[in-house]
Amino acid sequence: MEIVISNSADELNLKGAEYFERLLLTKPDAVLGLATGSTPIGLYNELIKKYKAGKIDFSRAKAVNLDEYIGLSQSDIQSYSYFMRQNLFSHINIDPANCHIPNGIVDDIDEECRRYERVIKSLGGIDLQLLGIGHDGHIGFNEPGDSFEKGTHPVELARETISANARFFESIEKVPRRAITMGIKGIMNAKSILLVATGADKASIVRRALMGPIDPRIPGSVLQLHPNLTVLLDISAAGELQ
Ligand code: PGA
């Protein structure tokens, strides 16, 4: 594991974007595992800047997102599909046909999970998986549990996650209770992982996930086992690391 601590959000976002830039220079058809939430927005802005400056070409890249709320259509402004178009895809030259996100409004959720597994497999796996981490240690929407859930699966969101995500919705009642998420196996199979966390409110979970025991009650702790994990932190999120 490599931990990189940045003094400012700008520095962190730039460093994060450089991982994608280097990958796409060496492998223009790379499979990018992407994430939603507040954390990656600045990094996505840097990717957009680099694209506009002619430094990154996404024309052959593939994108696979971690998760989607069950019950929200792709046109719903709260869906992660919408988030990705708004914050990244519509500003760069990635082919929409190469952008994959679980479909949250299918009748057969289990079949959708199986379909998503097939998508990831058919792409040959993920080259670089970007991750945030929830205050309860979730990665993707893999919530704390008794075991690490392996494949893409439906989840009941933890109360803490619903509260944390309520800030994006009109009210907490509007936050979907369920989601489809890539599982721990899909994440751990990525050839490299970039975990990003910012802010003092993440300092405790960053310490517990990276320095504590590997425990499914802190899903992010499994990342300690990944052979190619880079952790990008700002000073505040790194505040509890020795
Ligand atoms: P955040 O979410 O970036 O909005 O803090 C992180 C996560 O839930 O994975």
Question: How many structural domains compose the chain?
Answer: 1
Q: Does residue 48 lie in a domain region?
A: yes
Closest atom of ligand 1 relative to the 199 alpha carbon: 5
Ligand 1 center–CA 38 separation, angstroms: 6
Q: Does residue 240 lie in a domain region?
A: no
Query: Is the separation of the CB atoms in 185 and 152 below 8 Å?
Result: no
Tell me the catalytic residues.
67, 136, 138, 143
Q: What are 17's two structure tokens?
A: 């974007």
Query: Is the separation of the CB atoms in 100 and 62 below 8 Å?
Result: yes
Q: Does residue 241 lie in a domain region?
A: no
State residue 100's pLDDT score: 98
Closest atom of ligand 1 relative to the 39 alpha carbon: 3
Domain that includes residue 160, residue range: 2-234
Per-residue pLDDT of the chain (242 residues; tens, 9 = 90+): 999 999 999 999 999 999 999 999 999 999 999 999 999 999 999 999 999 999 999 999 999 999 999 999 999 999 999 999 999 999 999 999 999 999 999 999 999 999 999 999 999 999 999 999 999 999 999 999 989 888 999 999 999 999 999 999 999 999 999 999 999 999 999 999 999 999 999 999 999 999 999 999 999 999 999 999 999 999 999 999 97
State residue 149's pLDDT score: 80
Select from 208, 213, 217, 210 the least CA-distant residue to 195.
210
CA distances in angstroms from 179 to 9, 139, 235, listed in the order given: 29, 13, 32
Query: How is 214-241 classified by DSSP, letter by letter?
Result: -BTTBGGGGGGG-TTEEEEEETTTTTT-
Q: Does residue 242 lie in a domain region?
A: no
In this structure, what is the dihedral angle of CA atoms 221, 164, 49, 229, given to the nearest 10 degrees?
0
Q: Does residue 208 lie in a domain region?
A: yes
CATH number at residue 152: 3.40.50.1360
Predicted TM-score (pTM) of the model is 0.96
State residue 75's pLDDT score: 94
Residue among 13, 38, 162 whose CB has most ligand 1 atoms within 8 A, to mutate: 38
Atom 8 of ligand 1: nearest residue by CA position: 134
Q: Does residue 103 lie in a domain region?
A: yes
Q: Does residue 239 lie in a domain region?
A: no
Ligand 1 center–CA 134 separation, angstroms: 5
User: Sheet holding 178-181: strands in order across?
Assistant: 67-69, 178-181, 153-156
Q: Does residue 186 lie in a domain region?
A: yes
